[in-house]
């Protein structure tokens, strides 16, 4: 089931978020259809992707449920790495899984640029070979210290090492790659949740933006 769109309308020195564009402004009652291009509804870009259609990417999803249905902002998250076909390699207390389904609504962070020809060719072999390492046997799993994130970041650093790059710490990878995506997802989720209980969510514009 596809989530309904989130629309943004700018009017009355405010941003109006809604599911369906209203004919009249809920603040002033003015006709939005004749308010010109400035008040035209804009569909917000969803930060969530079908993970199995995202090759060679770092994926994040809730451990249970989906972001737009059950996620409360605090539940555990699970991460994985896709091969070139969108199969998600992920590690938990049962060992390494190669999932062809279950990652249909994810935050996706691409890991390979289109000009990295050699890496594009060898990615699947590198990932499969890495996943067979004894470090990822089920009994090695530890919820805090040796988990799905450890697996994904260790693979990324293995690839970086092979390209002569410095390894990234968990903090570096989180700040550089994850936070920009998770911040955007968090804002979108907040709007989604607000609009589950009301027709409009209204955010006044800061003074300096009201006239821009």
What are the structural domain ranges in the chain? 48-168
How many whole angstroms separate alpha carbon 121 and alpha carbon 138? 29
Residue 209 pLDDT > 90? no
pLDDT tens string 116-149: 888 989 999 999 999 999 999 999 999 999 999 9
- Model confidence at 1, pLDDT cuts 50, 70, 90, reads very low
Average pLDDT over residues 101-121: 92
Band (35; pLDDT cuts 50, 70, 90)? confident
211 has a pLDDT exceeding 70: no
Confidence band of 212 (pLDDT split at 50, 70, 90): very low
Q: Which is higher by pLDDT, 39 or 94?
A: 94
53-57, 67-71, 205-209, range with the lowest pLDDT: 205-209
pLDDT tens, residue by residue, 175-192 = 999 999 999 999 999 999
pLDDT at position 172, please?
Answer: 96
Query: What is the per-residue DSSP string for 136-179?
Result: GSGGG-BTTTBSHHHHHHHHHHHHHHHTTPPPPPHHHHIIIIIH
User: Quick one: average pLDDT of 63-81?
Assistant: 88
Using the predicted structure, report yes or no on whether residue 84 has a pLDDT greater than 90: yes
186 and 73 in contact (C-beta within 8 Å)?
yes
Per cent of the chain over pLDDT 90 is: 76
Q: What is the pLDDT of residue 37?
A: 83
Question: Residue 210 pLDDT more than 60?
Answer: no
What pLDDT is recorded for position 2? 52
Weakest mean pLDDT among 30-34, 35-39, 65-69, 150-154:
35-39
What confidence score (pLDDT) does residue 173 get?
A: 96
Q: Both tokens of residue 171?
A: 């903090």
3-state helix, strand and coil shares in percent for the chain, rounded to the nearest 5? 35, 25, 40
């Amino acid at each position: 089931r596809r989530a309904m769109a989130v629309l943004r309308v700018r009017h009355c020195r405010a941003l109006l978020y809604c599911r369906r564009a209203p004919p009249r402004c809920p603040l002033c009652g003015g006709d939005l259809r004749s308010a010109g291009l400035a008040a035209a509804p804009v569909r917000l870009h969803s930060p969530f992707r079908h993970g199995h259609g995202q090759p060679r990417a770092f994926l994040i999803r809730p451990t249970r449920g989906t972001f737009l249905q059950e996620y409360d902002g605090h539940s555990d998250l699970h991460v994985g790495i896709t091969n070139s076909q969108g199969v998600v390699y992920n590690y938990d207390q049962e060992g390494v899984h190669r999932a062809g389904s279950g990652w249909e609504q994810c935050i996706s962070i691409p890991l390979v640029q289109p000009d990295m020809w050699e890496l594009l060719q060898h990615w699947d072999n590198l990932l499969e070979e890495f996943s067979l390492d004894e470090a990822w046997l089920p009994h090695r799993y530890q919820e805090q210290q040796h988990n799905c994130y450890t697996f994904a970041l260790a693979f990324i650093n293995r690839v970086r090492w092979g390209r002569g790059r410095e390894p990234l710490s968990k903090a570096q990878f989180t700040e550089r790659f994850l936070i920009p995506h998770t911040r955007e997802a968090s804002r979108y989720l907040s709007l989604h949740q607000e609009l589950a209980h009301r027709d409009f969510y209204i955010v006044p514009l800061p003074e300096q933006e009201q006239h821009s």
